[in-house]
């Protein structure tokens, strides 16, 4: 019988180096950075010839990844929720246990959710070659043939310059001098973080070299519960796992590691400079995204979400504008974006956590304006969806329907509203908003009260299990 092959999409990253585009609760894998699809959608679409993917993500991303995979017809075989971040070795173990339930000889293709691969045909040829080796028990990783001395990646020292071969050693991110030596030798490849192996082969090596992770992940998976479309593993068991990557836990120790050199136009899009490299440029080397005009400017990346941006006579700049933040930096300083994120964290601001426009499983809301004791939001509810039945201790709300229809329940009394109609929700009233129509419901919400934080919600019922 032919072994089933499951893509495993690892979607636990927060993508802070691409702030302000990427936020903790809506990171880069869910953004349309390089095409009309998001990065996680592109990842799923390049391996559609195999079984449905197994996704591993955190609690706050579960509905986002489910919806985005569904949008491109790649509903997940399983979406496993990590209750706490524990790095890639435990995450892959959860996926392996899930795959073995379906096929004891299952092969996994482990893919980070946020990588770019331009030559997908060549990549799939490499996957087939890796699968052949994996079926014999090998743990295969892909080594990217380097195009320059890159100091931002780890390297793999391989036995062969051209063919799949034994891994001699993994090395940490080098300085520029050592990176040049690695590239000139032809014996070293960028560590891609992508793998192909049988699920049982990985688990056997994990048990051999890091038994704590194996046992804790197994117990967490065995004690998991099904929650809607998600597999929610036991937190008290999973948090016993060491916080460790697959490289440290397994690949640097196993005798079964092989590396397959590939050149497929790969990028981890780990910074704005690498994003600039993979996007189409004009004759002056500029990448312009949104309403942008560059005059006598060269080699810039300029993005605008909702306003006109102009540059004049500048070079090698990154200018990123979102609805609530603007970043301006030289391309050779983009790694220092993390300092901005740290500042936002340390000053208890929220711009590193959420965009002004916030996605929810029922739709989205955009915080249009706010001031002392008031806040205005534009709310979009998808057809057939409902918000939770809830109440607030500190605020009242006034809803005005802009388009579509709204079914509003206030203290168990229902009212159907259409365009230009409104309703008042008193402080302390139990209420629910639903869209009974076939088009998006758009409404304006005006909040007023002594405290307007998102945590002033008491949920009584919720179809998404958030009570």
The DSSP string of 219-263 is: HHHHT-EEETTEEE--HHHHTTS----HIIIIITT-S-EEEEEE-
Find the CATH number of the domain harbouring 419. 2.60.120.10
pLDDT score, position 424: 97
Same-domain status, 172 and 201: yes
H or E segment and range at residue 424: strand 422-425
DSSP 3-state of 345:
helix
Beta strands in 20-163 (DSSP E): 54-58, 78-82, 107-112, 116-117, 139-144, 155-158
Domain boundary among 237, 267, 297: 267
pLDDT score, position 1: 56
Same-domain status, 125 and 219: yes
DSSP 404-454: S-EEEEETTEEEEE-TT-EEEE-TT--EEEE--SSS-EEEEEEEEES---T
H or E segment and range at residue 397: strand 395-403
Same-domain status, 402 and 335: no
Same-domain status, 168 and 40: yes
Cβ–Cβ under 8 Å, residues 247 and 191: yes
Please state the separation of Cα 68 from the chain's center in Å.
11
DSSP 3-state of 170:
strand
Same-domain status, 166 and 289: no
Give me the number of domains the chain comprises: 3
Say if 346 falls within a structural domain: no
139-144/257-262 β-pairing? parallel
DSSP 3-state of 136:
coil
> Could you count the other beta carbons within 10 Å of the beta carbon of residue 355?
22
Same-domain status, 77 and 134: yes
292-295/309-312 β-pairing? parallel
Say if 125 falls within a structural domain: yes
Both tokens of 44, joined, read 């799923």
pLDDT score, position 278: 94
pLDDT score, position 467: 53
Say if 362 falls within a structural domain: yes
Cα–Cα distance, 323 to 377 (Å, whole number): 14
Question: What Rg, from alpha-carbon coordinates, does the chain have?
Answer: 24
| Residue appearing with tokens 């955190």 | 58
Q: What share of the chain is helix, strand, coil (3-state, %, to 5)?
A: 25, 35, 40
Same-domain status, 281 and 141: no
For every one of its 467 residues, what pLDDT tens digit does the chain have, with 9 covering 90 and above? Answer: 588 999 999 998 877 899 999 999 999 999 999 999 999 999 999 999 999 999 999 988 999 999 999 999 999 999 999 999 999 999 999 999 999 999 999 999 999 999 999 999 999 999 999 999 999 999 999 999 999 998 889 999 999 988 999 999 999 999 999 999 999 999 999 999 999 999 999 999 999 999 999 999 999 999 999 987 899 999 999 999 999 999 999 999 999 999 999 999 999 999 999 999 999 999 999 999 999 999 999 999 999 998 999 999 999 999 999 999 999 999 999 999 999 999 999 999 999 998 989 888 899 999 999 899 999 999 999 999 999 999 999 999 999 999 999 999 999 999 999 999 999 999 999 999 999 999 999 999 999 999 998 889 999 988 887 65
DSSP 3-state of 462:
coil
Say if 114 falls within a structural domain: yes
Both tokens of 85, joined, read 């971040």
Say if 466 falls within a structural domain: no
Say if 348 falls within a structural domain: no
Cβ–Cβ under 8 Å, residues 445 and 399: yes
Same-domain status, 194 and 276: no
Find the CATH number of the domain harbouring 70. 3.90.550.10
Please state the separation of Cα 368 from the chain's center in Å.
26
Same-domain status, 155 and 214: yes
pLDDT score, position 466: 64
Say if 64 falls within a structural domain: yes
Same-domain status, 254 and 280: no
pLDDT score, position 384: 95
Say if 430 falls within a structural domain: yes
Same-domain status, 31 and 165: yes
Please state the separation of Cα 194 from the chain's center in Å.
16
What domain range is 295 assigned to?
Answer: 272-341
Cβ–Cβ under 8 Å, residues 47 and 111: yes
pLDDT score, position 269: 93
* Global pTM value: 0.89
Domain boundary among 288, 313, 341: 341
pLDDT score, position 417: 97
Same-domain status, 242 and 214: yes
5-11/54-58 β-pairing? parallel
Domain boundary among 241, 267, 293: 267
Contacts with 119 (C-beta within 8 Å, 6 or more apart), sequence order: 263, 264, 265
């Amino acid at each position: 019988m032919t072994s089933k092959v499951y893509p495993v999409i690892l979607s636990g990253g927060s993508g802070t180096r691409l702030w302000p585009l990427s936020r903790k609760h809506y990171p880069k894998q869910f953004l349309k950075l390089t095409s009309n699809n998001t990065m996680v959608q592109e990842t799923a679409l390049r391996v559609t010839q195999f079984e449905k993917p197994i996704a591993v993500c955190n609690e706050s991303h579960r509905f986002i990844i489910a919806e985005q995979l569904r949008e491109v017809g790649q509903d997940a075989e399983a979406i496993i929720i990590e209750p706490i971040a524990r790095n890639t070795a435990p995450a892959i173990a959860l996926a392996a246990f899930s795959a073995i339930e379906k096929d004891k000889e299952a092969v996994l293709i482990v893919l980070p959710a946020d990588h770019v691969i331009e030559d997908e045909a060549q990549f799939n040829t490499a996957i087939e070659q890796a699968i052949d080796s994996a079926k014999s028990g090998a743990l295969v990783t892909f080594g990217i043939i380097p195009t320059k001395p890159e100091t931002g990646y780890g390297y793999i020292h391989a036995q062969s310059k051209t063919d799949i071969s034994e891994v001699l050693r993994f090395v940490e991110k080098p300085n520029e001098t050592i990176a040049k030596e690695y590239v000139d030798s032809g014996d070293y490849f960028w560590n891609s973080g992508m793998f192909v192996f049988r699920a049982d082969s990985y688990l056997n090596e994990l048990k051999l070299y890091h038994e704590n992770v194996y046992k804790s992940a197994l117990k967490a998976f065995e004690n998991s519960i099904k929650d809607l479309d998600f597999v929610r593993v036991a937190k008290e068991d999973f948090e016993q796992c060491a916080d460790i990557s697959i490289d440290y836990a397994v690949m640097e120790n196993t005798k079964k590691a092989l590396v397959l050199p590939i050149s497929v136009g790969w990028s981890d899009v780990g910074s704005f400079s690498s994003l600039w490299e993979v996007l189409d440029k004009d004759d002056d080397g500029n990448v312009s995204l949104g309403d942008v005009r560059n005059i006598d400017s060269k080699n810039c990346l300029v993005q605008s979400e909702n306003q006109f941006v102009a540059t004049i006579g500048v070079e090698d700049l990154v200018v990123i504008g979102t609805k609530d933040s603007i970043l301006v930096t030289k391309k050779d300083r983009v790694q220092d974006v993390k300092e901005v994120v740290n500042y936002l964290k340390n000053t208890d601001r929220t711009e590193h956590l959420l965009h002004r426009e916030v996605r929810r499983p029922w739709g989205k809301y955009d915080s249009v304006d706010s001031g002392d004791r008031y806040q205005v939001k534009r709310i979009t509810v998808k057809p057939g969806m409902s918000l939770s039945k809830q109440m607030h201790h500190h605020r009242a709300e006034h809803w005005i329907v802009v388009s579509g229809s709204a079914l509003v329940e206030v203290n168990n009394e229902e009212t159907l509203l259409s365009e230009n109609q409104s309703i008042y929700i008193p402080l302390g009233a139990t209420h629910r908003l639903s869209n009974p129509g076939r088009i998006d419901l758009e409404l304006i919400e005006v909040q007023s009260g002594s405290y307007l934080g998102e945590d002033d919600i008491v949920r009584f019922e919720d179809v998404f299990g958030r009570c």
